[in-house]
A and B are shown apart, each in its own frame.
Chain A
């Protein structure tokens, strides 16, 4: 079963706008990761944030983690049409060697 829930389930924005996606999870984690998936293809790793970190940046991506609320958010700034994809958060528990994925957010960036 999925641990993470993401919202919104779908998001439609104009090119140049920012997109924010949220993820909640249930158990203690070692790290939380975000992945992108273009329609029916494999997943691409975007960013990893460890449980002792609160915020991380990578290019136009900003991720926050609040372990007290068991939640994370992914912000994509200055979105582009090429950012259109599904975005998944995934949590990893200590020594579990598995990722538990959220339900995903479908992002549409309109040109």
Chain B
């Protein structure tokens, strides 16, 4: 089985712009989660989707949003980018029950 695929792997944006990141989960996985990793805050949960429904959301401002499509692929969007949004954004998939997550390689966002 192919692993979790995230695109793009690297991107550079300027303050005020918006960005969309994409995640394709492992085939058959219906849950997709997103995490932000920064040197200062570490790994922080953004949101989790299962069968197109958001089941949980982390403590991030409304500029961070996500969605999941019927084929389980997911996107997250960050609007009005700030310098502090520079981070590695990690997507993970699972079958949906508590347990192991399978992570992608991440999308590294740099905001200038």
| Chain A residues within CB distance 8 Å of chain B | 1-2, 30-31, 33, 35, 40-45, 48, 88, 90, 92, 94-104
Taking the complex as formed, is B21 at the interface, i.e. its CB lies under 8 A from any CB of chain A? no
Which residue of B41, B48, B55, B105 contacts A41 across the interface (Cβ within 8 Å)? B105
Measured between alpha carbons, how far is A104 from B48 in the docked complex, in Å? 22
Measured between alpha carbons, how far is A95 from B48 in the docked complex, in Å? 12
A-B contact pairs, 11 of them (CB 8 A): A2-B42, A33-B100, A40-B106, A41-B105, A42-B105, A95-B98, A97-B50, A97-B56, A98-B45, A100-B45, A101-B44
> Cβ of B42 and Cβ of A101 under 8 Å apart?
yes
Which chain B residues lie closer than 8 Å to A102 at the CB level? 42
Taking the complex as formed, is B11 at the interface, i.e. its CB lies under 8 A from any CB of chain A? no
Interface size class of B (residues with CB under 8 A): 20 to 34
Q: From A31, which residue of chain B is reached at the shortest CB distance?
A: B98
> Cβ of B108 and Cβ of A40 under 8 Å apart?
yes
| Chain B residues within CB distance 8 Å of chain A | 4, 31, 33, 35, 41-45, 48, 50, 55-56, 58-59, 88, 90, 92, 98-106, 108
- Whole-angstrom distance between the Cβ of B46 and the nearest chain A Cβ: 9
Which chain A residues lie closer than 8 Å to B44 at the CB level? 1-2, 101
Known pairs A96-B56, A98-B56; A104 contacts B42 (CB<8 A): yes
Which chain A residues lie closer than 8 Å to B43 at the CB level? 2, 88, 90, 101, 104
Which chain B residues lie closer than 8 Å to A40 at the CB level? 88, 106, 108
> Cβ of A97 and Cβ of B103 under 8 Å apart?
no
- Whole-angstrom distance between the Cβ of B23 and the nearest chain A Cβ: 11
> Cβ of B98 and Cβ of A98 under 8 Å apart?
no
Q: From B58, which residue of chain A is reached at the shortest CB distance?
A: A98
Of the listed residues A40, A43, A45, A94, the one surrounded by the most CB atoms of chain B closer than 10 A to its CB is A43
> Cβ of A99 and Cβ of B101 under 8 Å apart?
yes
- Whole-angstrom distance between the Cβ of B21 and the nearest chain A Cβ: 14
Which chain B residues lie closer than 8 Å to A99 at the CB level? 33, 35, 45, 101
Which residue of A2, A97, A101 contacts B48 across the interface (Cβ within 8 Å)? A97
